[in-house]
Amino acid sequence: MTSTDHYLDRAVARARLGPARDRNPRVGCVLVAPDGEIVGEGHHRGAGTPHAEVAAIAAAGGRARGATAYVTLEPCAHHGRTPPCTQALLEAGVAAVVYAVPEPTASATGGAARLTRAGVAVEQHPHAASYALVADWARAAALGRPHVTWKIAGSLDGRVAAADGTSRWISSPESRADAHALRARVDAIVVGTGTALADDPALTARTPEGHELATQPLRVVVGRRELPAGARLRGGPSPVLHLRTHDPREVLRVLVEHGARTVLLEGGPTLAGAFWAAGCVDEVLSYVAPVLLGSGAPAVPDLGVGTLADAPRLRLVDVARVGPDVRLRLVPAGAASEPGPASLLPTTTRSLQED
């Protein structure tokens, strides 16, 4: 491990002290004197608070002059709710800046160039832990909205419920545990009022034994119908947001304001079809159970496809066996290959070739 990696690891550790769900990314900064001594550390504490570089400079005081700043994300060059970090670094007399992840947003980019023009030695040093820290935020910044994963659990013939409406349980316990791990990974779970009324879900992330996990997503219900007073969604460990709209883009706009960068779409075919039609599905995670139903609710709504040539195509990214089921991870054809949150699911699956 190089000294640069060591200092960036320290910066990542500081960054993780910041809020995991915030409109801004988690960022850490470490100031190192020419003799290698750490003279200041800081992290971003949330929207509207001083950025990591400013916090580290405050901790270092006069010792920041001549130091090298190791930052997980390129210092910003724009004036938002707080002044630009580049200006703070220049005023503090920092001699060099090493950053790990280039700023992905057009409004804030240009910090490295500004520092270089001012005579500061600037280096971009790739660092996996720094990128992992902001991957969800960077992906959402590139999309201009949260990344949406549509999760489907269905039969081999594409049904999500039998003719009598029963749907528990099409998928296996192993698949359900896999899906709960994803729930704990995302910022928000979204269902429609139809699913909320028909299934009375809790939408919590739980262990196979039914215990709630420490990390819980924001639970979101979309639609105008009221939830019953005794609905399971009215209790539980995390907030519930009821959005009385049918517009997927409005839903995602509100979720951005709540700090959500990753969304798991678990509603029925109607809600999923609306998100698909709006171009707001980035990833499909399909659990296919080895069962045939023959009739019942389809996994996918009518998409208005009149002929095979008009059918939307998806690209298979990953396939795995989860208990008796098969898990398919797909993205719309032509979409970028940037992995979504489902790519980080626990590797408890077996390859299809093992048997």
Assess whether 246 and 202 both reside in one domain: yes
Instruction: Please say which residue of 118, 140, 162 terminates a domain.
Output: 140
Is pLDDT of 354 > 60? no
Question: Does residue 19 have a pLDDT over 90?
Answer: no
What's the pLDDT at 210?
Answer: 77
Non-local (6+) Cβ contacts of 219 within 8 A are 188, 189, 203, 204, 233, 236, 238, 239, 240, 241
Q: Which two tokens stand for residue 119?
A: 């005579």
Say if 168 falls within a structural domain: yes
37, 41, 53, 174: the catalytic one is 53
Is the pLDDT at 26 greater than 80? The verdict is yes
**Residue 184, both tokens:** 């704990």
Residues annotated within the binding site for NADP(+) are 153, 169, 195, 199, 268-274
Using the 3D structure, point to which of 80, 112, 140 is the last residue of a domain. 140
Closest CA to 30 of 47, 12, 46, 48: 12
Q: What are phi and psi of 137, to 5 degrees?
A: -65, -45
* Sequence-ordered strand ranges (E) for 44-196: 68-73, 96-101, 121-124, 147-155, 188-192
Tally of residues, the chain: 355
CATH number at residue 9: 3.40.140.10
More confident residue, 274 or 47: 274
The pair of three-digit structure tokens given for residue 20, joined into one six-digit string: 């995991």
Average pLDDT over residues 314-334: 89
Of the three residues 87, 115, 140, the one that is the final residue of a domain is 140
Residue 19: give the domain boundaries. 3-140
Q: What is the mean pLDDT of the chain?
A: 85
What is the pLDDT, as a whole number, of residue 70? 96
Give the sheet arrangement for strand 240-243, strand by strand. 240-243, 218-222, 188-192, 262-265, 147-155, 283-289, 325-332, 314-322
Answer for the pair 103, 109: CB distance below 8 angstroms, yes or no: yes
pLDDT band at 350 (very low <50, low <70, confident <90, very high): very low
Total domains in the fold of the chain: 2
Neighbours of 60 (CB within 10 A): 24
Percent of the chain with pLDDT over 70: 91
Give the C-alpha separation, 83 to 48, whole Å: 10
pLDDT above 60 (res 337):
no
338 catalytic residue (yes or no)? no
CATH code assigned at 173: 3.40.430.10
Can you tell me the mean pLDDT for 147-154? 91
Helix%, strand%, coil% for the chain, nearest 5: 30, 25, 45
Q: What is the mean pLDDT of residues 266-273?
A: 84
Q: How far apart are CA 161 and CA 299, in angstroms?
A: 8
Check residue 245 and give its pLDDT.
92
Distance CA 280, CA 143 (A): 10
Output 2 or 347, whichever has higher pLDDT.
Answer: 2
Annotation: binding site for substrate: 167, 183, 203, 206, 266
Asked if residue 252 lies in contact with residue 145, where contact means CB atoms within 8 angstroms, the answer is yes
